[in-house]
Homo-oligomer: A and B are copies of this chain.
């Protein structure tokens, strides 16, 4: 970890505004640094106390025996600005500013104060987290520079999950969920207003921590894609999965986000495409962010996502098949040989096709799971497993089921989830190290997310490898103006895309010659970079059958174009061509994500196009209202 090391693994931490009371903002970090085994030096600063929580206390930064690498600024309001300036002057590397009341409450004066702090910091190379930050917590190094209450009743909970967000609440809510499942967190960072270090930049640094096995992000807006791209690249290189919950999917949500953080609205489908392109899984909500965590930590290397479901309840078999279909997970088709072997083990009234219904036979033979699992595991179609045990009262040897299932999971390395509603059953499976969900819907959804995400990562990796093998065959164009049709066709043709045979003609004679060369009937089209919609002006004539007609139309079209005061680039004579399917292609430059290409089903070109334009226009209008500069925008068919 070299990037932002002083933020994540400082050698020394000073706390300006340190308090004896561990329930105060200035007391909690001191308490946490001790509690979570921080190995560096701790310097409380408080002019009115000789000692804080057992540590020698200093009157000011100037009194410290050395310049601390990190300073937690726990004083409120404008005092924090002075403290930042002081830190910068004393050679501090990172300041964590907890004070609120800046950009989040006043977009003008508050933001100006933030800029003042950042400018002071950057003069001496200091970096700032916050302001309005709940703080950073690295349980790996014990550097807990946070005042979150969440860690008060936590034991040393070092794990392999990293959770980052700007929001304090949203950095701790997922941690709370994971704790309920007994999963520890290694990093929990809430960066606040991101005046200097953004959540994205910090995430890149966290992704470099080799002990992090899963990185979770909560984002309300993506004002800058740079660090997310870098994060995705770092993560992909070391096979680290990233799940992002980007809220504001809906128009109502975007409006709320703007009230909350003044977030620049991102067009949601572009956000989807961006995450997918980079191998990042987009969670639909808080549950989706955390629900599959345990599966990611198992170290499974899945080969596919065909599911085998096994239950002692036929109803659970039916509902599992429904749930799998709903998320797009195929049920594995087992080989005839597997079926034959299963028929040798299971009683005649059990179902040997997938999903496998063990029926109450499980009651009389508690080794049934242990007997059939190895048989199914050999089937090449079996990628992943779900075992559903909705109810198992007295008479069922649940301990044996759980033991056999867990052993199977360990031996095969194939993903396995359990659906168990009854608490006593769930607990037995959990105790054996299985991942348990209360219903088949939740189990299938989490399993599918994990498998589909691993597939997405593999695809992304492959595409990246192919691209770097192919070298920098980048397609670029310096064109920033609207191209006329002839130039557009030439551009496409140069990239190897077949275009209809055509000629751009600059005189009646050329038009007639073109007709002769191409052979009738032809299409005649007026060509001007100033005119995007030709047919409205009578500049498209189909099925022109004679050279004279072609010549006459040339003259008419030149007149029409000139009459409208548009540039006359010529007239195109092209071969007639039919087609099977129309598609629309649109493009615009997104303020955050850059060039966006939209490809849509055609056949109703005008309707699709106008919808596309309306959607783009709406996004731009929102941007303009939000005060952002609209980027160049062009839609072409």
CB pair A315 B169 closer than 8 Å = yes
CB A275 to nearest CB in B, in angstroms, measures 16
Q: How far is the CA of A587 from the CA of B256 in the complex (A)?
A: 46
CB pair B150 A393 closer than 8 Å = yes
- B residues in contact with A351, CB < 8 Å: 256, 259-260
- A326 an interface residue at 8 Å Cβ cutoff? yes
- A322 an interface residue at 8 Å Cβ cutoff? yes
A sample of 12 cross-chain residue pairs with beta-carbon separation below 8 angstroms, ordered by A number, consists of A152-B393, A169-B390, A218-B315, A220-B318, A250-B326, A252-B324, A255-B321, A259-B351, A260-B314, A285-B322, A286-B319, A286-B421
- A100 an interface residue at 8 Å Cβ cutoff? yes
CB A222 to nearest CB in B, in angstroms, measures 14
CB pair B319 A285 closer than 8 Å = yes
- B residues in contact with A320, CB < 8 Å: 256
A150-182 at interface with B (beta carbon < 8 Å) = 150, 152, 165, 167-170, 172-173, 176-177, 180
- B residues in contact with A423, CB < 8 Å: 176, 180
1/0 per residue A99-120: CB within 8 Å of B?
0100011100000000000000
Q: How far is the CA of A167 from the CA of B320 in the complex (A)?
A: 16
Total number of A residues with any Cβ neighbor in B under 8 Å: 74
- A194 an interface residue at 8 Å Cβ cutoff? no
Instruction: Tell me which of A353-361, A367-375, A521-529, A566-574 binds B.
Output: A353-361
CB A281 to nearest CB in B, in angstroms, measures 17
- B residues in contact with A422, CB < 8 Å: 173, 176
CB A227 to nearest CB in B, in angstroms, measures 20
Task: Closest B residue to A170 by CB, please name it.
Answer: B315
- A579 an interface residue at 8 Å Cβ cutoff? no
CB pair A259 B325 closer than 8 Å = no
In the complex, the count of this chain's copies comes to 2
- A440 an interface residue at 8 Å Cβ cutoff? yes
Partner of A357, one of B250, B260, B390: B260
- A313 an interface residue at 8 Å Cβ cutoff? yes
A277-310 at interface with B (beta carbon < 8 Å) = 284-287
Partner of A220, one of B253, B315, B439, B441: B315
Q: How far is the CA of A442 from the CA of B442 in the complex (A)?
A: 13
- A316 an interface residue at 8 Å Cβ cutoff? yes
CB pair A249 B170 closer than 8 Å = no
With A104-B349, A167-B313, A391-B172: A252-B319 Cβ-Cβ less than 8 Å: no
Partner of A169, one of B177, B249, B316, B355: B316
CB A365 to nearest CB in B, in angstroms, measures 16
Q: How far is the CA of A131 from the CA of B394 in the complex (A)?
A: 22
- B residues in contact with A60, CB < 8 Å: none
Which A residues have a C-beta under 8 Å from some C-beta of B?
23, 100, 104-106, 148-150, 152, 165, 167-170, 172-173, 176-177, 180, 218, 220, 247-253, 255-257, 259-261, 284-287, 312-326, 331, 348-349, 351, 353, 355, 357, 360, 390-391, 393-395, 421-423, 438-442
CB pair B149 A318 closer than 8 Å = no
With A149-B393, A169-B390: A253-B315 Cβ-Cβ less than 8 Å: no
Partner of A322, one of B247, B259, B393: B247
Partner of A260, one of B255, B256, B315, B421: B315
With A252-B324, A325-B252, A351-B259: A390-B170 Cβ-Cβ less than 8 Å: yes
CB pair A248 B318 closer than 8 Å = yes
Task: Closest B residue to A604 by CB, please name it.
Answer: B603
Minimum-distance CB pairs A-B, first 7: A149-B393, A260-B314, A250-B325, A105-B349, A253-B322, A252-B321, A253-B321
Q: How far is the CA of A168 from the CA of B390 in the complex (A)?
A: 11
- B residues in contact with A391, CB < 8 Å: 149-150, 168-169, 172-173, 176
- B residues in contact with A438, CB < 8 Å: 177
- B residues in contact with A324, CB < 8 Å: 250, 252
Task: Closest B residue to A424 by CB, please name it.
Answer: B153
